[in-house]
Amino acid sequence: MLGSKRTLLIARGLAGVTSMGLFFLAVPYLPIGTAVSLRYTSPIFAALLAVVFLRERIASVQWSFFLLAFSGVLVIKGFDPDINLVGLVLVLCSALASGFVYILINKIGHSDHPVVIVNYFMWISFIVGGTFSIFYWTTPRGIEWLLLLSLGIFGYFGQLFMTKAFQSQVTNKVVSLKYIEVISTMLAGIVWFGDRYPVLSIMGTAMVILGLLLNILYKTKKNIKD
């Protein structure tokens, strides 16, 4: 119930809350597209941290795949060169904290059930977020309650599935799949909000998919040889 690696579980929860909080603090200083794009440097931070803390090896060709995928994210979201320094530092720190989340989940491994790991994150988020919200509370109205409930449900299961993935695979292989979030967000915008994307966005999507596929194919081929 309380988990066997409690120190790592608490650290994972704090890293997750820190990443989320820093991102929201960065948003007022940056265009939302730029903020989201920069936050997707987290897989690169995670890959670097995996080399240091997990002793994972990343081939030079894989770095080119990461770069291709991240470049696609920038093309999709639209990168604004006029970046506020405060916002830049905040969002990059958010990405770094997110990278630590992936490392901690991998470090915890199978010693604790994914539900235990996610519950630690949720309770720590509730305590930290609840404390700060006391000073800025606004009571939801009408459909806002349903939207918040949906956000909580989808967020919970998203965290649960992500945790299972990082527990069962090496970090640098799983982390590249995080870029699928960008593509799924685009598709959701098209289906539910009628968003339209220019040619550059579609090109960026293709770059993301290609970067993902190349990394997965490389790892699969390497594992077969080993």
Percent of the chain with pLDDT over 70: 87
pTM of the model: 0.74
Amino acid residing at 184:
S
Q: Which of 106-120, 166-180, 183-197 has the lowest mean pLDDT?
A: 166-180
Mean pLDDT within 124-138: 88
What value does the CA radius of gyration of the chain take, rounded to a whole number of Å?
18
Q: What is the pLDDT of residues 27-84, one digit of tens each?
A: 888 776 667 777 877 877 888 888 888 888 888 888 898 888 888 877 876 665 656 8
How many CA atoms, within 13 angstroms, populate the side-chain half-sphere of residue 40?
Answer: 27
Share above pLDDT 90 across residues of the chain, in percent, rounded to a whole number: 15
Contact 133, 24 (CB under 8 A): no
| Res 19 pLDDT > 90 | yes
Question: Could you tell me the two tokens for 208?
Answer: 């993301």
Check residue 146 and give its pLDDT. 95
Please name the residues in contact with 4: beta carbons below 8 A apart, sequence gap of 6 or more.
111, 112
| Confidence at residue 97, expressed as pLDDT on a 0 to 100 scale | 95
- Considering the chain, what is the average pLDDT of its residues? 82
Predicted pLDDT of residue 94: 95
Do 177 and 165 form a contact (C-beta atoms < 8 A)? yes
Inform me whether the pLDDT recorded for 6 exceeds 60.
yes
Q: Give the start-to-end residue ranges of the domains of the chain.
A: 6-225
